[in-house]
Structure 1
Amino acid sequence: MKFLHRYIYIFMTALLVTSCSDPSSVDSCEESGNFIIAATPQALDGVADYLLTTESLESGSISTVGCGQEQDGTYRYYVTNNNKYFSLLYGQGNPGAVTTYQLNSNGKLDELSDFQSETVQAFAPIEDDVLMVKAPRSINDPTAYWYRLNTENSQFTDEGQIDIIELAGNGEGAFPSWLTQVDDQVFMPFSTITGQGNNSFSTSYPDSAWVAVYSYPEMALQTVIKDDRTSFIGRYFTKGLSVDENGDVYAFSSAIATDDNGQMISTKPSAITRINGGAMEFDQSYFFNIQEASDGFYLTDHVYAGDGNVLLMMRDADEKAPYTTGHNFAIVNVHNQTFTWVNGLPDASSILNVTSMNNYVSEDGSTVYTGITIGNTIENEEGEKETVFEGSYVYAIDIASATATRGLEVKGGAITSINKLEPAE
């Protein structure tokens, strides 16, 4: 539940509180450009993201104070497709808004549509659509639903159902981690969950991985690919598959399966496996043990940069948790199985938040841009701990040298997403 772990920061001054909460201040600044930054203002209570535009990720500053477009509701998530920007509200069980934007010739976002949809647990650009899946956490209601959102007109064009118990095939329910287009098919990795007890995400099958393969756009199940060398692929609200230039599919496992008490029970290491292009089974000759290569860390998220290069977010395996994003970064090459820690980043202990779902990769694949928010924890006069925000920055991570350089500063907010659009014609 990544949305439960967004940091809520204290304001540095009363002026910042007033400026960020005043609706009349929105869109009063001059920043513009192709890059879209979503940032959550620092606040005592849950607040909505602001969408800001900028020309550069490598220098300068932008601010949530009096700038940007305020989103309607907290826990927003973002996806781009067909040169449009979609802002999805996680409604926590209730219907959520979907707002569509495009970039105008002045480098500003224009709102195209705003409508209600079901809150979904997985979504991704597939061909010219955004495919969404709403999945239950209880096997007492064993039906998941998928929806096809057409990006040309921002209208739902098709929907269907998935029997999660039938898909799991082991008495538990299938719960998808994410969706990935592979050629003309959709690969949906999933864990199997009990859907009952103290922890609905608990499982009796912690040491297996599954990928459901669907035709598209019909979403007819073709097969389920299974492997017992890792735990499940991806995590809640976290992409677990990437496709390289050869058409090979790499699967990323955090090994974070839990029992009914929330205890880690997988005996498998955090690792990367592979499904060769065109194949419907895991390549048993390929196994990249990330926990071993990193000397005791596990991957929590990844960004595929190109030519087999991947940026990993990582965390000490002794501190495994199902939903926390790692604050240590490494570059791996999945083709030759090399591992290198990234230099030039803030100490992991000072990092409050990292952008995990929407990072930007340069067109040549040489650089990954990620948002990092730093701060520290203090003890107030009442002896309670408070998190003090220090700053939020875009870091440019050079793949070849595994070196990070601090770039754009986002004042007054924590970066949650970095995307890019071209001006609409």
Structure 2
Amino acid sequence: MKRTKLLLGALVAMSIWTACSKSDSPAGDGDGNTNIEGKFVIAATPVATEGVADYLLTADDLDGGTISTKNNGVEQDGTWRYYTTSGNLFFSMLYGQGNPGAVTAYKLDNAGKLQKVTNFQTETVQAFAPVDDDILLLKVSRNISNEISHWYKVNTETLQLSGEGEINTKELAGNGEMAHFSWIKQVGNKVFAPYFSIKADGVDGFGTNYPDSSWIAVFNYPDMTLDKVIRDNRTSFIGAYFTDGLEVDEKGDVYAYSSPDATTNGEYTSTKPCAFMRINSGTTEYDKDYFFNITEKSGGSKIGFKLYLGNGQFLLGMTDPSDKQSSKIDRFGLANVYTQQFTWVTGTPDPAKITSVSDLNSYSPKDGKTGYVGITTSDGKSAVYKFDAAAASASRGLEVEGGTITAIRWLPAQS
């Protein structure tokens, strides 16, 4: 299963990407119908042996119908594309495999068709998020001989680089290894940056001698001075490489999940369970009385990705209990972090036949009820599945002929 590795760069130009808003969830009734005029954008990779580029398709709803990649959609330039939306802009980003890549932005025209509005070059960063009126980006060192990682701010009002600085990520780890940020998120007036510890030694680069701990660096904003590090040894690290493990709910409480993915010399070595922990609103410490053990509730499965549905309800992409790798998602569960209830979802394809999931690029209107995930099966069929939290069930919705769904996004029309 393909994991997203978002590329950003050319900092002043990139600020166009984020100038619109900090939310990609339209108002909606949970049934695929929105109160904002616009389109759903479906990214799909055509069926081919190698070297194919995605097509961007549009749809009015996700609950049914069929669209096709044949003679349809907007073809992307190059493989390994990744997607996001900001306000009424849809961004398509080329992963350059270590080289510069292109970012292309689209808007909907008056006829509801995608129109290109900008295209520029990028450089690789490993984490990013909106913070206040800025976009904060982190470029993380993976070489133990280079202790310095870099942060950049782009102001979304002036479209100018408004600040930059350095973080000594070896010093931050404090254990002879390097801190590698999995993601960043604004929490109140702070920036929370979960990280995992890696050797970064060129031999066991992403391995660690500390598989049974988690860390969240808390930075002051806007100067990005380190306030503290939240530490815990009830789980392994929060999230995963390029995987957001934090969510802030409507109350301002922070929920952090961990899967025991840490390795040492190529072997999975964490002894801790997959679980959610909580940081109460206004605090920078874990609530020691809260621990939602997903390993126990699920019978030994791991979380591969989360999709927050709202009101404390999470849709989780899960693994088979026999799989050690959390990115091999082939089943789904619902976790209510308020009641600590876990329920397996019915109605999805046979796990043995699932070959691809849209995971990090799935969609929810955050109504507490509904989520949408693209699932492709071994027979080559790809469809959007609608997940109903109340019924703990999924139903097959919009079908995509001739392609594998890699992203589902809502794109509002121009105001």
When the two structures are superposed, what TM-score results if normalisation uses the length of structure 2?
A: 0.87
Tell me the CA shift for residue 49 of structure 1.
Answer: 1.8
Aligned mates of 1:268, 1:172 — CA distance in 2: 20
Distance 1:117 1:4, change over 3 A: closer
Match of 1:177 in 2: 182
The answer to whether the Cα contact below 8 Å between 1:3 and 1:75 also exists between their aligned partners in 2 is no
Match of 1:47 in 2: 52
Tell me the CA shift for residue 4 of structure 1.
Answer: 9.1
1:368-379 superposed matches below 5 A: 368-375=371-378
1:33-182 superposed matches below 5 A: 34-151=39-156, 156-182=161-187
Task: Please list every run of 5 or more consecutive structure 2 residues that lacks an aligned counterpart in the other structure.
Answer: 6-36
1:306 lines up with 2:310 in the alignment = yes
Distance 1:171 1:317, change over 3 A: farther
Partner AA of 1:54 in structure 2: A
The answer to whether the Cα contact below 8 Å between 1:325 and 1:356 also exists between their aligned partners in 2 is no
Aligned mates of 1:115, 1:265 — CA distance in 2: 42
Aligned mates of 1:174, 1:310 — CA distance in 2: 28
Tell me the CA shift for residue 155 of structure 1.
Answer: 5.7
Tell me the CA shift for residue 122 of structure 1.
Answer: 1.9
1:352 lines up with 2:343 in the alignment = no
Aligned mates of 1:127, 1:308 — CA distance in 2: 24
Aligned mates of 1:130, 1:70 — CA distance in 2: 28
What is the aligned counterpart of 1:391 among 366, 381, 386?
Answer: 381
RMSD of aligned C-alpha atoms?
2.1
Tell me the CA shift for residue 197 of structure 1.
Answer: 4.3
Aligned mates of 1:144, 1:79 — CA distance in 2: 24
Could you list the per-position Cα deviations for residues 381-402 of structure 1 after superposition, in whole angstroms to 9, with x for gaps in the alignment?
xxxxxxxx42110000001111
Identity among equivalent pairs (%): 52
Match of 1:267 in 2: 271
Partner AA of 2:46 in structure 1: P
Partner AA of 2:297 in structure 1: A
Aligned mates of 2:186, 2:216 — CA distance in 1: 12
Range with bigger deviation, 338-347 or 143-152: 143-152
Could you list the per-position Cα deviations for residues 329-385 of structure 1 after superposition, in whole angstroms to 9, with x for gaps in the alignment?
00010011001000100011100000111111125231100000011xxxxxxxxxx
Partner AA of 1:134 in structure 2: K
Match of 1:250 in 2: 255
What is the aligned counterpart of 1:400 among 383, 386, 390?
Answer: 390
Distance 1:150 1:61, change over 3 A: farther
Structure with greater contact order relative to length (CA < 8 Å, sep ≥ 6): 2
1:284 lines up with 2:288 in the alignment = yes
1:218-237 superposed matches below 5 A: 218-237=223-242
Aligned mates of 2:280, 2:145 — CA distance in 1: 36
1:296-335 superposed matches below 5 A: 296-321=300-325, 324-335=327-338
Aligned mates of 1:150, 1:64 — CA distance in 2: 37
Range with bigger deviation, 219-228 or 304-313: 219-228
Could you list the per-position Cα deviations for residues 208-245 of structure 1 after superposition, in whole angstroms to 9, with x for gaps in the alignment?
10111223343332221111110000011111001111
Aligned mates of 1:220, 1:229 — CA distance in 2: 27
SS in 2 for 1:285: coil
Could you list the per-position Cα deviations for residues 230-275 of structure 1 after superposition, in whole angstroms to 9, with x for gaps in the alignment?
0000011111001111111001101110012x11000101111111
Could you list the per-position Cα deviations for residues 132-188 of structure 1 after superposition, in whole angstroms to 9, with x for gaps in the alignment?
322222212222222334556766544332211012121110111112221232211
Could you list the per-position Cα deviations for residues 103-128 of structure 1 after superposition, in whole angstroms to 9, with x for gaps in the alignment?
22322222222111211222334445
Match of 2:24 in 1: none
The answer to whether the Cα contact below 8 Å between 2:299 and 2:321 also exists between their aligned partners in 1 is no
SS in 1 for 2:412: coil
Aligned mates of 2:372, 2:244 — CA distance in 1: 17
Number of aligned positions between the proteins: 384
Range with bigger deviation, 43-52 or 302-311: 43-52
Distance 1:257 1:179, change over 3 A: same
When the two structures are superposed, what TM-score results if normalisation uses the length of structure 1?
A: 0.85
SS in 2 for 1:175: strand
Runs of 4+ in 1 over 6 A off after TM superposition: none
The answer to whether the Cα contact below 8 Å between 2:308 and 2:366 also exists between their aligned partners in 1 is no
Task: Please list every run of 5 or more consecutive structure 1 residues that lacks an aligned counterpart in the other structure.
Answer: 6-31, 376-388
Aligned mates of 1:130, 1:42 — CA distance in 2: 35
Partner AA of 1:394 in structure 2: V
Match of 2:406 in 1: 416
The answer to whether the Cα contact below 8 Å between 2:260 and 2:274 also exists between their aligned partners in 1 is yes
Could you list the per-position Cα deviations for residues 296-321 of structure 1 after superposition, in whole angstroms to 9, with x for gaps in the alignment?
11111111111110011111243112
1:189 lines up with 2:179 in the alignment = no
Aligned mates of 2:130, 2:110 — CA distance in 1: 24
SS in 1 for 2:317: strand
SS in 1 for 2:361: coil
The answer to whether the Cα contact below 8 Å between 1:81 and 1:125 also exists between their aligned partners in 2 is no
Partner AA of 2:143 in structure 1: S
Partner AA of 1:326 in structure 2: I
